[in-house]
Amino acid sequence: MQIVFLGPPGAGKGTQAVMLADKKGFLHLSTGDILRENVKNGTLIGKKAKAFMDKGELVPDNIVIEMMLDTIKNTRSHEDFILDGFPRTVYQANNLDRELNKLKLPIDMVVYFKASIKTVILRLTDRRLCSKCGASYHITNMPPKKQGVCDKCGSELYQRKDDSEKTIKKRLEVYNSQTKELIDYYKSQGILKEVSGDMEASKVYSELSEILTPPFLLQRDASKQKELG
């Protein structure tokens, strides 16, 4: 199953993707994580992307598209994956559609995490992340058991450089001007589902699980059967 997570920064896409990966074996493909890994390792992609990321701007389409399509092609075809943070522009979405159709792995569902501005700002400013497994925490709402240490893998937590107030504002502007229109793009394809990103993580997860269990899967299998004739 191929799923896209859509929504503003701080809506909880990453948190839910990590939970789904843990519990249901999805592969979590996070554009932000992959870009940050490239920055950390000093790759050519990382060098090109860093300045945009630090400012809260989008990394140019050509870089991100090639990087993500390569990542997808390297997954094995039977693997279920979640695209978290990609696509973020209509141009990226068109390129993704084209490639996934070629691979006969069309997107099954797009989950839109609807969250208020107030929620996302509060979450991002106090967010902490695991430097190793990417798990996400919040210093008051979702604190780790031991301060500064990941519950799951024991690695050190850190604060993202772009989780500063000024850069968060910029990221939200970018979301509103370049990414939000993807809601209509996928709605018109009939594959958009909405969850409330304002709720606490475990509640969002319940909603998500409901969306992901039959009859959705049955419907999907039926339409795949039809496709195959």
Q: Give the residues lining the site for ligand ADP (CB under 6 A).
A: 9-10, 31-32, 35, 52-53, 56-59, 64, 85-88, 92, 162, 171
28 or 88, CB closer to ligand ADP?
88
Minimum Å distance from CB 27 to Zn ion? 17
The Cα 37–Cα 91 span in angstroms is 24
Site string for Zn ion, 171-190 (x = CB under 5 A): --------------------
Residue 164 in contact with Zn ion, rule: CB under 5 A: no
Q: Say which of 13, 36, 123, 128 is annotated catalytic.
A: 13
Which of the listed partners (Zn ion, ligand ADP, none) does 134 bind, with a CB threshold of 5 to 8 Å by partner kind? Answer: none
Which of the listed partners (Zn ion, ligand ADP, none) does 28 bind, with a CB threshold of 5 to 8 Å by partner kind? Answer: none
40 or 73, CB closer to Zn ion?
40
76 is catalytic: no
Tell which one of 71, 75, 125, 155 touches Zn ion (CB under 5 A): 155
Q: What is the largest CA-CA distance in the chain?
A: 55
Q: Which of 123, 155, 103, 149 is nearest to 13 (CA)?
A: 123
Task: Select from 41-49, 96-104, 142-150, 217-225 the region that touches Zn ion (CB under 5 A).
Answer: 142-150
CB 219: neighbour CB atoms within 10 A?
11
Q: Say which of 114, 160, 170, 193 is annotated catalytic.
A: 160
36 is catalytic: no
Task: Select from 66-74, 91-99, 143-151, 218-226 the region that touches Zn ion (CB under 5 A).
Answer: 143-151
13 is catalytic: yes
155 or 196, CB closer to Zn ion?
155
Minimum Å distance from CB 92 to ligand ADP? 6
The Cα 16–Cα 98 span in angstroms is 27
Residues involved in catalysis = 13, 88, 127, 160, 171
